[in-house]
Chain A
Amino acid sequence: MKEEGKIDSKKRQLLKAAAVGIGAGMVSFIAIERNKLMEVLRPVSLSEIIGFVEAEEGLNKYEKRAREREAEIKKMCRAEADKICLDKGEDSAECSEARNRCEKIVVKATPPKPGTRFVMALDINKCIGCRRCAYACVMENNTDRDIGIEWIHVLEVHRDDLELLNTNIDYGEEAPKKDYVYIPMACMHCDEPSCVYVCPVVATWKEDDGIVVVDYDRCIGCRYCITACPYGARRFNWKKPRVPVLELNPNMHILGNVLRYPHVVEKCIYCIQRTRDGGIPACVEVCPVGARSFGDINDPEGPIRRILEKYGAFVLRPETGNKPMFFYYFGPARTPPRSKEEG
Chain B
Amino acid sequence: MDIKALIDTIKYILSSGLRGSKSYYLFLAGLTIMMIYGLYNWVFVQHAPIFLKSEYGGLVVTNLTDSVPWGIYIAFFIFWVGVAAAGIVFGIIAYVFNNESFKKVAVLGEVQAIAAIIIVLLLIIADMGQPLRALILMPQLPNLRSMLDWDFVVLTGYLLINIIGLLYTIHMYRQDKPLGKKFIIPFIIIAAPFAIGIHTVTAFISQALTARPIWHSPLLAPRYVATAFASGPALLLLVLLIAEKYMDRFKVDEDVYKKTMYVIVGSMIIGLYFSLSEAQELFWYTNEPWKKAQAELLYMGKGQPGYLVILFAGWIILGTISVLLALIPRYRNSYWGRVVIASLVIVAVVFEKTMTIIVPAFIPDPLGRYVVYYPSPIEYAITIGIHALGLIIYAVLAKASLLTIIKHYEK
Contacts and interface: CB of A to CB of B under 8 A. Distances in A.
Interface of A: 43-47, 147, 153, 155, 163-167, 169, 185, 194, 197-203, 218-224, 226-232, 234-240, 261-264, 317, 319-322
B130 A200 contact: no
17 contacts: A43-B144, A44-B144, A46-B144, A153-B367, A164-B367, A169-B367, A169-B369, A197-B143, A198-B146, A221-B133, A228-B209, A230-B211, A234-B66, A235-B66, A238-B59, A262-B129, A320-B210
A165 B293 contact: yes
Interface of B: 47, 49-50, 54-55, 57-60, 62, 64-67, 69-70, 124, 127-131, 133-134, 137-138, 141-149, 152, 205-206, 209-212, 289-290, 293, 361-362, 364-369
B129 A264 contact: yes
B243 to A, nearest CB: 38
Contact of A199 (B70, B146, B206): B146
A60 B212 CA distance: 38
B230 to A, nearest CB: 27
B55 A224 contact: no
Contacts of B211: 194, 227-230, 320
Q: Identify whether the interface residues of A are mostly helix, strand, loop, or mixed.
A: loop
A238 B68 CA distance: 12
Tell me what chain B mostly uses at the interface: helix, strand, loop, or mixed.
loop
A201 B144 contact: no
B200 to A, nearest CB: 15
A222 B143 contact: no
B141 A47 contact: yes
Contacts of B54: 240
B144 A232 contact: no
Can you list the 3 inter-chain pairs with the closest CB atoms, starting with the nearest?
A221-B129, A263-B129, A239-B58
B358 to A, nearest CB: 10
B144 A240 contact: no
Contacts of B62: 238
Contact of A200 (B50, B67, B138): B138
Given A46-B144, A167-B367, A200 B210 contact: no
Contacts of B129: 219-223, 236, 262-264
Contacts of A165: 289-290, 293, 364, 368
B366 A164 contact: yes
Contacts of A317: 366
A200 to B, nearest CB: 4
A201 B55 contact: no
Contact of A236 (B69, B133, B210, B293): B69
A320 B291 CA distance: 13
Given A222-B128, A236-B69, A236-B129, A201 B210 contact: no
A264 B128 CA distance: 10
A43 B130 CA distance: 26
Contacts of A320: 210-211
A227 B130 contact: no
A322 B210 CA distance: 9
Contacts of A166: 368
Contact of B366 (A231, A238, A261, A321): A231
B50 A232 contact: no
A198 B148 contact: yes
A111 B59 CA distance: 33
Contacts of A238: 58-60, 62, 64-65
B148 A263 contact: no
